C-alpha cells in the first residue's frame, strides 16, 4: 500500500526553476530573514466530530474517535464536505502566499522542456520514443521504422485524456508481428487499468476490452493471445493471471495462475529474447518465477524454482540458460547460471559471480556476450561489466563520486551497447550509451534545466552520521557553493524513505534548486530500512527493528546540526507514503528538532490498517510491518504507530497531503491523523491538510499540474524558514 511512493519520491519531486523573482536572483537573498508576510492564522481550523469506536485485540482496547472517516465508496457527503473544508482552510491560511506559490510554480515548471522527447529505442525493427510539446500535459507515444522515417503515432495521451480529471497510461505492448498494440489506461487514479487493443494498420480499436487489470500486458508470439493480471477490486492485489484470445469476451479468458497467498504481489513480463513470459511472485522475504512458453501460450506453466522462506531470486534468460540473481547461500546476493532443463535443481546451477559479504549485488543486465552488474560497496555504486567470452571484468568509469545509475531500455540481446540513466545530485539526468568492449560512452541526452544552470556552482558530498547505537548512517548532501557556510546558519531540508529495502540514490532533482539556490542544504538520509548498505541494512529497519528507521532519521538531523551543516532552528523534514510513516514517527518522538514537516500520502494508522485485510494491499505488507494477529507484532507496531502515539504536546508546523482516490495509502489515514493531531496538540503551529480530490497516490497526472503541490510545499517551507522569494 505504500511501496509505490518511490515513483513519486524519485520522479514527481523532480521539477524546475528559472523564472524572474522579486530579487534579481535567489542566490542573493538573505539567508535568514523574518517571514515577509503574515499568514491568516486567526481563522479557525475545521474541527471533526468524534464518534467513539472501540477496537480490542490481545487485551488492548483502543478508541478511535475518527474511524467514521473511512468510506470505501468515496461518496459520503459529510466526509467529502470535511475534506473540502480542510482544503478551504489551507487556501485561507496561505492566501498571503498566493503570489509566492504562483511564482514558485512558474519557477518549477520552467525547468521542464516544453518541447521534448525521449531517446529512441530499437525494439524488433522499430524505434520507439515519446514526445511532449508546448503546454500539453501528456506524452505522445510514437515509433519509426528508421531514425529518419516519418513517425507513426501509437497513442496520443493528450487526446485520450480529454474529459478526464485524471488520466494515466499504465503500459503498452506491440505484438510480435508489429501490427497490434495493447495498452492500458486508468482514469480514476486507483491503479486499476482497462486494457484495449488497436490495429496499427487501420488505427481501429478492436472489440477486446479487459477490465480490472494491473495495467501490464504481454503478448504471446502467435499475435493472438495476450496475458494480463487481474486485481481484486477490494484489496487491489493483482492475484490472477489470465490468457486472453483476441476476438473473444473477457468472460471466456483462461485463468493460468492464481495466487492463493495474500502476502504476495503478482506481476508479469517477457524475456528479452521474447521466448518466455514470466509470472513474478513477490513477497518482501521470498520471491519466485513461473514460466510460460511464449511460442506455445496454451501450454502448461512451469515453476522455475519452488518458493522457499527467505529465498529470493530473479532471472534473465540467455540463449543457453538463465542468469539468476539470488540470495541462496548469499545474504548480499550472487549471480548463478541455471541450465535450461534444470532450473528447479540448484545443485546443477553454476556460480558466475561469487557472494562477497561487503558487496551488495542490486541488479543485472544480460546481453549475448556481456553481463553487467549494478553493485554497491559501503553504499557506493559501481557498474561492473563481465565479458562472458573472455571473463574480463571492467568497472564503467563515472564522473561523480556519488551518483545513481539505472539500466534503461535495453531490449536487444545481440548488442555490445548498454544504455543507462545516469544522474548525481549535481548532474542532471542523462541517457548514456556505453560500448561494453571499450567502455567508451556517448551522452545521448541530458535533461535541460535552464539556460543559466551551471552544475559547477553546486557541490555534493557523502557524510557518515553516528546513530545512537553506534551505527554509521550514510547521508548524501547537496548545496550551492556560494551559499553554503558550514557555520550552522543554513536551513536544512532532509528527506528519506526507509522501507521495503528501497534505496533512494543520490540523483538530481531539479525542484530542489528552488531551495538550494535560496541557501538550503538538502540531505538524503540513507536510513535503515533501505538497502544502501546491503541486505542487512534493510533487515535492521523492518519488523521488530523498525524503530531504527525513525531513530536514524532523528540522529541524522542532530548530527548535521552538530557538524554545522544546518541551522538548528531551521530543520525541515519531508517524506511520503512509508516515508510519511517516518514523518509521523519523528514528530511524535522528537518534535522539537523540526521547524516544519511535510508528510505526503502518509501511512500513519499502522495497527488499524494492518488489522484489516479488506484494506487494499494490507496482506502483502505482513512481512514488512508484521501481522497484528500475532501479539508480539501487534505490540511492536502499536509502540510506534503515529496515529496511536499522538500525545498532548507541541508539534512542529506540518503540511499533510493526500489524494482522495489513493490506492496505496487510503485517504482516511491522513484525514484521521490530522483530526486527532488537532485534538491533542498544545501549540499554535500550522497544521495544514490538502486533499487532491481527483488524484491518487502519485498525485496529479499531468507533467505541469503535479508541481502545484510542490509549489505549495516550498512556499510553506520558505515562509517558515524566513527566506523570501
Q: Around 466, how many Cα atoms within 13 Å sit in the side-chain half-sphere?
A: 5
Q: What are the strands of the beta sheet with 359-366, ordered from one edge?
A: 359-366, 370-377, 380-387, 393-395
Alpha-carbon Rg of the chain, whole angstroms?
25
Helix/strand/coil for 593 = helix
User: How many residues make up the chain in this entry?
Assistant: 725
Phi, psi at residue 530, to the nearest 5°? -95, -170
Phi, psi at residue 522, to the nearest 5°? -105, 130
Out of 577, 598, 663, 709, pick the active-site residue: 577
Q: How far is CA 195 from CA 159, 190, 432, 511, 567, in A?
A: 17, 15, 33, 34, 52
Element (H, E) at 265: strand 265-270
- Dist. CA 652–CA 586, nearest whole Å: 10
Residue from 684, 665, 612, 644 nearest 499 by CA: 665
3-state helix, strand, coil in the chain (%, to 5): 20, 35, 45
577 is annotated as an active-site residue: yes
- Dist. CA 52–CA 63, nearest whole Å: 6
Torsion of Cα atoms, 100 then 650 then 679 then 575, to 10°: 50
44 is annotated as an active-site residue: no
Roughly how many angstroms between the first and final C-alpha of the chain, as a whole number? Answer: 37
Which set of grid coordinates corresponds to residue 658?
A: 493526500
Out of 552, 697, 701, 709, pick the active-site residue: 697
Out of 64, 505, 605, 662, pick the active-site residue: 662
How far is C-alpha 251 from the geometric centre of its chain's CA atoms?
34
Give the DSSP letter string of 283-330: ETTEEEEEEEETTSTTSPPEESS---TT--EEEEEETTEEEEEE-TT-
- Dist. CA 110–CA 517, nearest whole Å: 15
- Dist. CA 308–CA 283, nearest whole Å: 11
Active-site residue set: 577, 662, 697
Amino acid at each position: 500500500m505504500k511501496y509505490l511512493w518511490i515513483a513519486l519520491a524519485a520522479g514527481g519531486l523532480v521539477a524546475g526553476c528559472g523564472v524572474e523573482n522579486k530579487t534579481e536572483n535567489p542566490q542573493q537573498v538573505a539567508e535568514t530573514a523574518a517571514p515577509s508576510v503574515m499568514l491568516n492564522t486567526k481563522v479557525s481550523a475545521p474541527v471533526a466530530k468524534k464518534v467513539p469506536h472501540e477496537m480490542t485485540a490481545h487485551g488492548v482496547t483502543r478508541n478511535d474517535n475518527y474511524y467514521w472517516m473511512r468510506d470505501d465508496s468515496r461518496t459520503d457527503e459529510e466526509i467529502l464536505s470535511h475534506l473540502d473544508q480542510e482544503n478551504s482552510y489551507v487556501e485561507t491560511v496561505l492566501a498571503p502566499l498566493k503570489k509566492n506559490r504562483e511564482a514558485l510554480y512558474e519557477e518549477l515548471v520552467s525547468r521542464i522542456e516544453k518541447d521534448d522527447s525521449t531517446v529512441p529505442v530499437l525494439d524488433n525493427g522499430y524505434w520507439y520514443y515519446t514526445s511532449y510539446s508546448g503546454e500539453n500535459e501528456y506524452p505522445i507515444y510514437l515509433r519509426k521504422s528508421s531514425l529518419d522515417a516519418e513517425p507513426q503515432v501509437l497513442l496520443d495521451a493528450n487526446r485520450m485524456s480529454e474529459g478526464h480529471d485524471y488520466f494515466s497510461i499504465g503500459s503498452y505492448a506491440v505484438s510480435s508481428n508489429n501490427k497490434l498494440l495493447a495498452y492500458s489506461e486508468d482514469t480514476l487514479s486507483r491503479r486499476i487499468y482497462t486494457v484495449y487493443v488497436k490495429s496499427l494498420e487501420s488505427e481501429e480499436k478492436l472489440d477486446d476490452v479487459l477490465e480490472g487489470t494491473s495495467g501490464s500486458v504481454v503478448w504471446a508470439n502467435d499475435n493472438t493471445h495476450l496475458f494480463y493480471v487481474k486485481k481484486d477490486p477490494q484489496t487491489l492485489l493483482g492475484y490472477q493471471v489470465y490468457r486472453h484470445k483476441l476476438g473473444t469476451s473477457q468472460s471466456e479468458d483462461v485463468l493460468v495462475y492464481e495466487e492463493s497467498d495474500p502476502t504476495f504481489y503478482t506481476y508479469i513480463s517477457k524475456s528479452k529474447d521474447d521466448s518466455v513470459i514470466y509470472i513474478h511472485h513477490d513477497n518482501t522475504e521470498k520471491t519466485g518465477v513461473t514460466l510460460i512458453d511464449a511460442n506455445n501460450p496454451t501450454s502448461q506453466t512451469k515453476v522455475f524454482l519452488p518458493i522457499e522462506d527467505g529465498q529470493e531470486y530473479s532471472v534473465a534468460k540467455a540463449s543457453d540458460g538463465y542468469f539468476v540473481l539470488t540470495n541462496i547461500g548469499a545474504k548480499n546476493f550472487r549471480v548463478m547460471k541455471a541450465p535450461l532443463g534444470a532450473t528447479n535443481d540448484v545443485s546443477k546451477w553454476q556460480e558466475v559471480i561469487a557472494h562477497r559479504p561487503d558487496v551488495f549485488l542490486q541488479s543485472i543486465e544480460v546481453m549475448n556476450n556481456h553481463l553487467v552488474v549494478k553493485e554497491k560497496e559501503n553504499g557506493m555504486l559501481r557498474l561492473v561489466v563481465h565479458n562472458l567470452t573472455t571473463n574480463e571484468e571492467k568497472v564503467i568509469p563515472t564522473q561523480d563520486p556519488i551518483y545513481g545509475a539505472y539500466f534503461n531500455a535495453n531490449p536487444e540481446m545481440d548488442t555490445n551497447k548498454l544504455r543507462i540513466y545516469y544522474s548525481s545530485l549535481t548532474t542532471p539526468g542523462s541517457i548514456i550509451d556505453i560500448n561494453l568492449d571499450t567502455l567508451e560512452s556517448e551522452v545521448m541526452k541530458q535533461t535541460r534545466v535552464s539556460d543559466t544552470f551551471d552544475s559547477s556552482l553546486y557541490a555534493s558530498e557523502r557524510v557518515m552520521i553516528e546513530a545512537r547505537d553506534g551505527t554509521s548512517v550514510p547521508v548524501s548532501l547537496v548545496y550551492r557553493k556560494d551559499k553554503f557556510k558550514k557555520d550552522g546558519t543554513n536551513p536544512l531540508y532532509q528527506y528519506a524513505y526507509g522501507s521495503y529495502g528501497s534505496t533512494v540514490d543520490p540523483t538530481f532533482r531539479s525542484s530542489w534548486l528552488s531551495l538550494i539556490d535560496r541557501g538550503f542544504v538538502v540531505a538524503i538520509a540513507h536510513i535503515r530500512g533501505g538497502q544502501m548498505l546491503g541486505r542487512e541494512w534493510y533487515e535492521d529497519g523492518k519488523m521488530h527493528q523498525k524503530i531504527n528507521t525513525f531513530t536514524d532519521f532523528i540522529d541524522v538531523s542532530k548530527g548535521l546540526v552538530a557538524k554545522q551543516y544546518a541551522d538548528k532552528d531551521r530543520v525541515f523534514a519531508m517524506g511520503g507514503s512509508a516515508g510519511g510513516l517516518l514523518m509521523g514517527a519523528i514528530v511524535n518522538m522528537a518534535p522539537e528538532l523540526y521547524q516544519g514537516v511535510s508528510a505526503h500520502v502518509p501511512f500513519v494508522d499502522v495497527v488499524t490498517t494492518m488489522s484489516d485485510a479488506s484494506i487494499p494491499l494490507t496482506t502483502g505488507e505482513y512481512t514488512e510491518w508484521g501481522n497484528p494477529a500475532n501479539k508480539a507484532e501487534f505490540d511492536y507496531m502499536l509502540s510506534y504507530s503515529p496515529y496511536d502515539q499522538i500525545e498532548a504536546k507541541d508539534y512542529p508546523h506540518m503540511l499533510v497531503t493526500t489524494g482522495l482516490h489513493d490506492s496505496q495509502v487510503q485517504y482516511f489515514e491522513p484525514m484521521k491523523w490530522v483530526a486527532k493531531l488537532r485534538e491533542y496538540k498544545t501549540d499554535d503551529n500550522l497544521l495544514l491538510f490538502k486533499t487532491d480530490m481527483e488524484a491518487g497516490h502519485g498525485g496529479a497526472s499531468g507533467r505541469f499540474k503535479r508541481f502545484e503541490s510542490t509549489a505549495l510545499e516550498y512556499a510553506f517551507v520558505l515562509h517558515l524558514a524566513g527566506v523570501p522569494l
